Amino acid sequence: MKISLIPAFDDNYIFHLLTEDGLSIVVDPGDAQPVIDYLDKEGLTLQIILHTHHHWDHINGDKKLQEKYNCEIWGPEHEIMRIPNMTVLLEDEQTYTLGASQFKVMHTLGHTRGHIILYFEKDNALFCGDTLFSLGCGRLFEGTAEEMWLSVQKIRALPNHTKIYCAHEYTQANASFWQSIEPNHPDMLHILNDIKIKRKSNIATIPSTVAFEKKYNPFLRADDPTLIATLQLQKKRPKDVFAHIRKLRDNM
Ligand SMILES: [Zn+2]
C-alpha cells in the first residue's frame, strides 16, 4: 500500500492510501481542496473516506468529496450522530478489508468519546487521528486521563516497527515540552536538532514509529521509573503520572 501525506490547514495531515489493487482512500479529510488537487495530480479518483473522529478539521471535506466522487464514508460507530452520511460504521476490535489491504479498528477513549485508530498490520501502519502525536498526545476534550492512558497503551503494544501516522505536525512544540520536563535526557539534544532541521526545510516529522515513541514520548512513559523519578512522582500510579504530564502540557 502506498501512503502519501496531504498537508491541510496550518498543521493537519490528511493521508491518501492506494492499495496494491488500486483502491483510492483518504483518512480524515478536514478540507476537500487539497485532496482534490492531489488526486488530480496523480490521475486518481476516490472510493472511500476513513475517519478516526468527528472534529471539523477531520471531516469538513466530506461533503464536497462525496458530491464529486460519490465515495463511501467509513467511520466510528459511536460518532454516528456527529459524522454525517457514514455508509459503514466501524466497530471496536473488528477487522475490515479494503481491496488488497486490511485494517483493525481499536476504540481509543480520551480525545473524543468515539475516537478510533486504524491499524494496518500487513502494511505496518497505524492511523491514530488525534490520540497520539509524535512526542505528545491528544487533548482530553471528552475523556479522562485514565482513559487516554489506556488508549495510548494500545498503541504502545503494537510492534516496534509500526509507522505511526499522526494527524498533526505538532512534533516541534511537543519536543519543547518534553525538554521542559526532562531536560537531562541523554538523547534530547540530537532529537531536538533533527526535528529542527526537518521543520526548517518543511519536511514532515510524520510518520513516527512505535519504537521511537515508546522510547521518548513522555505520554507513553507514565510508568517509566526514570521519568517518574525526574518528575518526583515516585508514589503516584501511572494514570496519575499521565494526568500530571497532561496538565503540565495543557498549561504550557
Ligand atoms: Zn481532534
- Which distant-in-sequence residues (6+ apart) come within 8 Å of 157 by Cβ? none
User: Which entry of 28, 62, 123, 130 is annotated as an active-site residue?
Assistant: 130
What's the pLDDT at 3? 98
For residue 228, is it within any domain?
A: no
Q: Which domain holds residue 84?
A: 2-217
Strands (E), 134-251: 136-137, 163-166, 208-209
Reply yes or no on whether 161 is catalytic: no
Average pLDDT over the chain reads 97
Answer yes or no: 107 catalytic: no
Which pLDDT does position 252 carry in this prediction? 86
Helix (H) or strand (E) holding 67: helix 62-69
The verdict on residue 110 lying in a domain is: yes
Q: What percent of the chain shows pLDDT beyond 90? A: 99
Tens digits of residue pLDDT in 189-231: 999 999 999 999 999 999 999 999 999 999 999 999 999 999 9
Q: Establish if 225 belongs to a structural domain.
A: no
Count of CA atoms in the C-beta half-sphere (13 A) of 221:
22
Give CA–CA dist 160/214, Å, rounded: 8
Is 115 considered catalytic here? no
- pLDDT for 82: 97
What is residue 233's three-state secondary structure?
A: coil
- Gap from CA of 8 to ligand 1 centroid (Å): 14
pTM of the model: 0.96
Is residue 27 in some structural domain?
A: yes
Is residue 78 annotated as a catalytic residue, yes or no?
no
Structural domains of the chain, count: 1
With a pLDDT cut of 70, the percent of the chain lying above it is 100
CA of 149 from ligand 1 middle (Å) equals 17
Q: Among this protein's residues, is 187 annotated catalytic?
A: no
CATH of the domain at 154: 3.60.15.10
Residue range 56-68, pLDDT digits in tens: 999 999 999 999 9
* pLDDT of 111 strictly over 90: yes
Establish if 231 belongs to a structural domain.
Answer: no
With respect to residue 223, please indicate whether it lies within any of the assigned structural domains: no
Query: What average pLDDT does range 89-110 have in this prediction?
Result: 97
- Mean pLDDT score, 111-133: 98
CA distances from 6 to 53, 190, 212 (A): 18, 27, 23
Q: What confidence category does residue 17 fall into, taking pLDDT thresholds of 50, 70 and 90? A: very high
Q: Each residue of 23-49: pLDDT tens digit? A: 999 999 999 999 999 999 999 999 999
246: in domain: no
Is residue 232 in some structural domain? no
